[in-house]
Amino acid sequence: MIDPALPYAEQLRRRADRMATTCVHAGETPDEDGALDVPIVLSSAFAFTSADQAARAFRGEEDAWIYGRWGNPTVRALEEKLAALEGAEAACATASGMAAIAGVVLSTCEAGDHVVAPRSMYAESARLLRERLPKLGITTTFVDGTAAAYAAAMTDKTRILYVETPSNPTLGVVDIAAIVKLAQSAKAPRPLVVVDGTFATPFAQSPVDLGADLVVHSMTKGISGHGDVIGGAVAGPRELVDRARELVVKGFGGVLSPLAAWLVLRGLRTFALRQERSCATAEAIARHLASHPKIAVVHHPSLPSHPGHALAQRQMHAYGALLSFELAGDDALARGRKTLEALRVATHAVSLGDTRTLVVHPASTTHSTMPEETRRLAGIGDGLLRMSCGLESADDLIADLDRALEAAGT
């Protein structure tokens, strides 16, 4: 879906153009006062018009607002916009990305069930599967990201083939269509294919079009885009989305607040524009660092040297706004830390998908809860730095990196 014969900037412009109207208008209609902006409805409960209407609403015979944990107009508007952007029938907003992921797994699996997941993934998702869910009898086999490895790990108890692509923080690319084929060839009940699309965002990837059952997002990241909110989402067929909603939002209380929903809605109106710029910057920085003498390896699917390059061209609309890179030499860890401290334009902080460019050292921060051996198998070396490109000038960011790498010594 990325045409190597067309300049990348032109492809990004076309993708942004395709999404721009949906970003602005989907899910939003003027209210009865004519207010253009979706109101922030902060009421926790909603008045009934009669005893009969209350009873009908509780029996589910009438689509009425009842209580904020069961539904809210501001949150609903966000869910509709997100479903439209994802090309999904429905979406459910959750209190965080982790609430969405836990909700999907727990609403699909019970004691005795099994998940297959990639080794290279966000550390807290890995910890959920490795440490927390086995206490409930749900086990996971971690594999490298190939379809063959998923196939070898599947059992008749496998209920989820979990995919994170591109993966955090090594930008590994998993073949979604191949994993979908595997699920389709399994004996009933066939496992669900769940894709964490946080790194790609709906700008760079459409897992539902590739046959995935559910997409989960941390809306904290590129979807909200301004680093001012924590939120998550599940998107897919209404039946599966509602099953996750029943458990995680209604049952466990992982509800997104209306104020947070409004911030994400506002962020989404400029989503395509922001992603177009951030993806272009990531590609420019990856290209620059790939020939930098102080850098041993750059992980970004745009680079022909990246093992997932051809696959990314087939399954993505853009290569994404994140990259990671490893410093060359024996003392890569110490120099990586010095580099972080010498940055002046990019910000040394966790998270990603912000207007600001954020750089972090995963081994000592975001992925420090992974056992060392697992971390190494996942390709997360001591010298690896992850960069999420924001909206600053690409030239300023490249100059900042060059200066910081120089200051960190050889």
**Which positions from 121 to 160 touch ligand PLP by CB under 6 A, shown as an x/- string?**
-x--x-----------------------------------
Instruction: Say if CB 352 and CB 322 are below 8 A apart.
Output: yes
- Using CA atoms, how far apart are residues 286 and 277, in angstroms rounded to an integer? 14
Which position among 72, 139, 218, 339 is part of the footprint of ligand PLP (CB under 6 A)? 218
Which two three-digit tokens encode residue 194?
């769940």
SS3 at position 172 = coil
| C-alpha distance from residue 78 to each of 28, 90, 147, 176, 203 (Å) | 8, 11, 34, 26, 16
The interface with ligand PLP within residues 222-281 (CB under 6 A) comprises 230, 232
Q: Does position 168 bind ligand PLP by CB under 6 A?
A: yes
Cβ at position 385, least distance to ligand PLP in Å: 15
CA 171 distance to own-chain centroid: 12
Share in percent of the chain as helix, strand, coil (round to 5) = 40, 15, 40
**Residue closest to ligand PLP when measured from CB atoms:** 97
Is 115 or 290 the residue whose CB approaches ligand PLP more closely?
A: 115
Query: Is 122 tagged catalytic?
Result: yes
Among the residue ranges 34-42, 95-103, 135-143, 277-285, the one whose residues contact ligand PLP (CB under 6 A): 95-103
Which position among 158, 198, 224, 281 is part of the footprint of ligand PLP (CB under 6 A)? 198
Give me the residue label for tokens 């990531």. Answer: 282
Query: Is 221 tagged catalytic?
Result: yes
Is 57 or 255 the residue whose CB approaches ligand PLP more closely?
A: 255
Cβ at position 169, least distance to ligand PLP in Å: 8
Cβ at position 174, least distance to ligand PLP in Å: 13
Which position among 27, 68, 71, 97 is part of the footprint of ligand PLP (CB under 6 A)? 97
Torsion region of 26: left, alpha or beta (phi above 0 gives left; psi -120 to 50 gives alpha): beta
Strands 158-164 and 114-118: parallel
Q: Does position 357 bind ligand PLP by CB under 6 A?
A: no
Which position among 142, 150, 199, 319 is part of the footprint of ligand PLP (CB under 6 A)? 199
Q: Does position 354 bind ligand PLP by CB under 6 A?
A: no
Number of residues that bind ligand PLP (CB under 6 A): 14
Which positions ≥6 away from 355 have C-beta within 8 Å? 225, 226, 227, 274, 390, 391
Q: Does position 96 bind ligand PLP by CB under 6 A?
A: yes
Cβ at position 98, least distance to ligand PLP in Å: 4
Among residues 3, 18, 52, 69, which one is catalytic?
69
Q: Does position 362 bind ligand PLP by CB under 6 A?
A: no
Residues in the chain: 410
- Count CB neighbours of 244 within 10 A: 28
Instruction: Say if CB 203 and CB 19 are below 8 A apart.
Output: yes
Which two three-digit tokens encode residue 22?
């949906």
DSSP state of 198: T
**What are the residues binding ligand PLP (CB under 6 A)?**
96-98, 122, 125, 164, 168, 196, 198-199, 218, 220, 230, 232
Query: What is the set of active-site residues?
Result: 69, 122, 196, 221
